[in-house]
Amino acid sequence: MSKSAESGHRAKVAAALYERSGAAAYGVSVEQFAAILEEILRKYLPHTRDAAHASTKQRTGFCAGLRLEELALARACAAGNERAWQDFIGRYRRKLYNMALHITRDGAHAAELADSLFADLYGMNARGNNEARSSKLSSYTGRGSLEGWLRTVMAQEFINRYRKQKHMVSLEEQTEAGVQFAAAVPDPACASDPRLETATDEALAELSPEDRFTLASYYLDGRTLAEIARALGLHESSVSRRLDRLVTGLRKRILAGLRMLGMSHAQAAEALETDVRDMRFNLRSRLMQDSGAGTFPGRKLPAPKPGDGSND
């Protein structure tokens, strides 16, 4: 296909995608919507950093999989279109409150959390007005549902507040005061849920340097039980049982942390099925903190060997 023919075909495809999106209802022009798609293509299209050099088939297939209507709505809201905001409020305002209520289990805190997120979505600045507004909705790319994206953003906002609270009030004091963090109903856990990062980070932080060294050496560095035993001055069987104990204990602590941060038991268990290589945080760097472990070649995690009955 010649360049002119390919260009004409891309223009037809863009026009069809634009019509499907309903962006015209929010004052978004076909050129503006095409620019939004180009931005997303540059960010996510595989095998190339230059979306202009991707084949028409690649571009069309990728864009066809986007949530075009929700993308148009979100980006129009980010641009300040009043009709888009009215539609967004009608569809998602109540859902935002319900998401917050599922996390906080407290009406007042849920309203505060939802309102705070809504202000961020609208683009309020620190002074409470919309001068030089910057809406979080401008980062929505349509690769998943807008509701799912909002749920993840809500979880991140809750995590930010939780971390700040931990510096002021202990978790025990919060519990005694009646502040609960259990979800009312189970929703599918998302691999990008920031609560998994927080719960894992806190569980790893409780480990001693020697325990972090043991886990990092065996699971990430691929050292044998004998090598770790020599480094620690222990018997191989002691290292084996220590690994079993550490893995079991970590899982329990992470599950408890996820429950404390608003997940149901089913959500927490699903979240832990995520492969560590897909987690957004750097697990290796956390295990290396004060552990003395060396560098870790990315390898498949081996299964711990059973102990032989000797004492640690």
Please check whether residues 164 and 207 belong to one and the same domain: no
170 part of a folded domain: yes
Confidence of residue 106 (pLDDT cuts 50, 70, 90): confident
pLDDT band at 24; cut points 50, 70, 90: very high
Q: What is the distance between the alpha carbons of residues 312 and 240, in angstroms, rounded to a whole number?
A: 10
Tens digit of pLDDT for each residue in 137-188?
999 999 889 998 898 888 888 887 776 665 544 444 444 444 444 333 334 3
Residues 51 and 89 in one domain: no
pLDDT at 87 over 90: yes
Number of structural domains in the chain: 3
Does the reported pTM lie above 0.85?
Answer: no
CATH number at residue 130: 1.10.1740
The pLDDT, as a whole number, for residue 5 is 62
Q: Give per-residue pLDDT as tens, 213-224.
A: 888 887 777 788
Assess if residue 296 is contained within a domain.
no
Q: How far apart are CA 227 and CA 217, in angstroms?
A: 9
Does one domain contain both 87 and 171? yes
CATH at residue 244 = 1.10.10.10
Instruction: Give per-residue pLDDT as tens, 57-85.
Output: 788 888 989 999 999 999 999 999 999 99
DSSP character at residue 281:
S
The answer to whether residue 293 sits within a structural domain is no
Report yes or no on 299 lying in a domain. no
Q: Classify burial at 78, counting beta carbons within 10 Å of its beta carbon; exposed 0-12, middle 13-18, buried 19 or more.
A: buried
Residue 72 lies in a domain: no
Q: Find the helix or strand (DSSP H, E) in which 145 lies.
A: none
Examine the domain organization and report whether 164 and 112 are in the same domain.
yes
pLDDT number for residue 51: 47
Whether 309 and 237 have beta carbons less than 8 Å apart is answered as yes
Domain shared by 201 and 243, yes or no = yes
Residue 131 lies in a domain: yes
Spell 180-211 as b/e; 16+ CB within 10 A means b: ebebeeebebbebbbbbbbbbebbbeebeeeb
With respect to residue 59, please indicate whether it lies within any of the assigned structural domains.
Answer: yes
**Model confidence at 296: pLDDT above 60:** no
The mean pLDDT value of the chain amounts to 75
pLDDT for residue 208 is more than 90? no
Residue 266 φ then ψ, to 5°: -65, -40
- Say if residue 172 is in the same domain as residue 208: no
Domain that holds residue 47: 3-66
Are 85 and 109 part of one and the same domain?
A: yes
Residue 300 in domain: no
